[in-house]
Amino acid sequence: MGHVTSYPPGPRGLEVTGFFGSGGFQTTLDFLREQARRHGPIVSFRLLGRRMYVLDDPALVREVLVMQQHRFARATGAALLREIVGTSLITAEEPLHRTRRRMLQPAFHRARIRAYAGVMAEEARAAADAVVAGAAFDAGAAMTRLTLAVTGRTLFGEDVGESAAAMSASLARAMRTISRLGPLVEVLPPWLGELRRRLPLPSNREFARARRELHAIVAAAVLRRAVAGTASRGDLLGLVLDARAHDGTGFDDAAVADELATLLLAGHETTATALTWAWYALARAPRAEAALHAELDAVLGGRDPEFEDVARLPYADAVFSETLRLYPPASAFGRRVLEACELGGYAIAAGAGVVISPYVIHRNPRYFPEPDRFEPERFLGDGPPEFAYLPFGGGARRCIGDAFARMEGVLALATLARRFRFEREDPAPIGIASATLRPERPIVVRARVRAPSFVSRRTG
């Protein structure tokens, strides 16, 4: 293991240039990846005077997220996100995080996820029906419409419609702002960070606008449910309101709104982005695309998938898993060191910053040979070591909705790929625009109706 400074003695501007760069968030990820490959599993450098550590080893990641988690706190990215969605499961510190997770966990039990599968399958069929054969369309926009429809119905028991689509666009702008501000704010002293929140900056106005739009949707849904009665209808809103009625922990209207706003954001953004990249990756990997189509033809036999089919579609699941490896929803996240500790044999001082980047770890050739290659077969066997693959985080803060996202992703992939092939309009590579790995420009594809192999066998 090496403990190095990323650059030889000289102006710190080199570090600033490398970390922030001029090419957007992709530059930051490339910088982190380069340092990890050049210097080893733990890399240290100074950023605007603050000591930062980048971890690229599953054992070290486990130390931070599990074994020594009490020595670390969420970094500034969570604070910036809190300015949009408030204090919720993904932004709260302990012990509030633990309390909220216990309240929400029943909504994500396996039996409940299975109940959501019908909505997922139905909306995937609607999305496939809306595809015009031979026409070009924006895959990201189409997948966002699909996942918003699923999230709206499973969260609120209704279609949140155009208002949610407008909110999604506003949130996308806010998340790009977080991607730009996050690394800078991370190294600011606390008093300067507080001053930033008080100033009439464009970023603050963007956050406030996104929060208003997000909470307006949630407030309207809660009001409609209050008029109709709060009994659970099997959706997340009913479960949250029922939990509030019985838990006695002071889960007030503002807290309900924050949690539901977070679930609305996280529930559609993660899967929409992953599905968008899946079509991009499959269009560039004909062999993997053919293997996916062969499995769908053999298992489904010309019909759309349902819940029971998910376990019978290992290659479709592997396609989704491999997409999440290359384009993990949380591309990088940080921890602030609360008390001095040891990592990899090195003393880490309180106040330092730790960066864990699934994007970087997922592209480590030690665990993933030819890491830039799209190869779903990696996930057909035992899979990678624990914490070498963490698209949904790990430890106590692992994403509560990971099973939800995986089922939705596989059902959507299977439903659309059963009917169509998607060809890229522009073969040029596409980079990453934000921390949630949205593409830097639209991924435009053209739908081609497939001639399934099972049809050819029957008629040939």
State yes or no: pLDDT of 312 exceeds 80.
yes
- Residue partners of 192: CB distance under 8 A and separation at least 6: none
| C-alpha span between 324 and 391 (Å, rounded) | 6
User: For all residues of the chain together, what is the average pLDDT?
Assistant: 82
State yes or no: pLDDT of 456 exceeds 50.
no
What is the CATH number for 51? 1.10.630.10
The per-residue b/e assignment along 386-418, b for 16 or more CB within 10 angstroms, e otherwise, is: ebbbbbbbbeebebbbbbbbbbbbbbbbbbbbb
Q: Which residue has the higher pLDDT, 363 or 381?
A: 363
Q: Which residue has the higher pLDDT, 98 or 323?
A: 323
Residue 139 lies in a domain: yes
Give whichever of 18-32, 48-62, 276-290, 332-346 has the largest mean pLDDT: 276-290
DSSP state of 64: I
Q: State pLDDT tens for residues 328-368.
A: 988 888 888 999 999 988 899 998 989 899 999 999 999 99
* pLDDT for the residue 7: 32
- The proportion of the chain whose per-residue pLDDT surpasses 90, expressed as a percent, equals 39
How many domains does the structure of the chain reveal?
A: 1
Over residues 367-394, mean pLDDT: 93
Host domain of residue 389:
13-459
Give whichever of 8-12, 24-28, 242-246 has the largest mean pLDDT: 24-28
* pLDDT for the residue 431: 84
Residue 2 lies in a domain: no
Residue 157 lies in a domain: yes
| C-alpha span between 94 and 70 (Å, rounded) | 9
Structure tokens at 357: 């980047």
Q: Which residue has the higher pLDDT, 424 or 266?
A: 424
| C-alpha span between 202 and 177 (Å, rounded) | 9
State yes or no: pLDDT of 5 exceeds 50.
no
pLDDT bucket at 161, cuts 50 / 70 / 90: low
Q: Which residue has the higher pLDDT, 62 or 97?
A: 62
Which residues lie across from 136 on neighbouring strands?
A: 446
pLDDT bucket at 16, cuts 50 / 70 / 90: very low
State yes or no: pLDDT of 10 exceeds 70.
no
Q: Which residue has the higher pLDDT, 160 or 137?
A: 137
* pLDDT for the residue 140: 92
Residue 7 lies in a domain: no
Out of 121-125, 257-261, 280-284, pick the least confident. 257-261
Residue 226 lies in a domain: yes
Over residues 397-406, mean pLDDT: 89
State yes or no: pLDDT of 460 exceeds 80.
no
Name the nearest CA neighbour of 351 among 231, 181, 186, 156. Answer: 186
Residue 428 lies in a domain: yes
Residue 449 lies in a domain: yes
* Long-range Cβ contact pairs of 104-112 (< 8 A, separation 24 or more): 104/239, 104/240, 104/243, 104/259, 104/400, 105/400, 106/239, 106/243, 107/236, 107/239, 107/240, 108/400, 108/401, 108/403, 108/404, 110/403, 112/234
DSSP state of 369: S
pLDDT bucket at 457, cuts 50 / 70 / 90: very low
Residue 3 lies in a domain: no
The per-residue b/e assignment along 157-185, b for 16 or more CB within 10 angstroms, e otherwise, is: beebeeebeebbebbbebbbbbbbbbbeb
Q: State pLDDT tens for residues 402-422.
A: 999 999 999 999 999 999 999
Where do runs of H (alpha helix) occur along 131-252?
A: 139-156, 161-186, 190-198, 202-228, 236-247
Q: DSSP letters of 267-291?
A: HHHHHHHHHHHHHHHHHT-HHHHHH
| C-alpha span between 457 and 459 (Å, rounded) | 6
Q: State pLDDT tens for residues 216-242.
A: 777 777 777 777 765 556 677 777 777
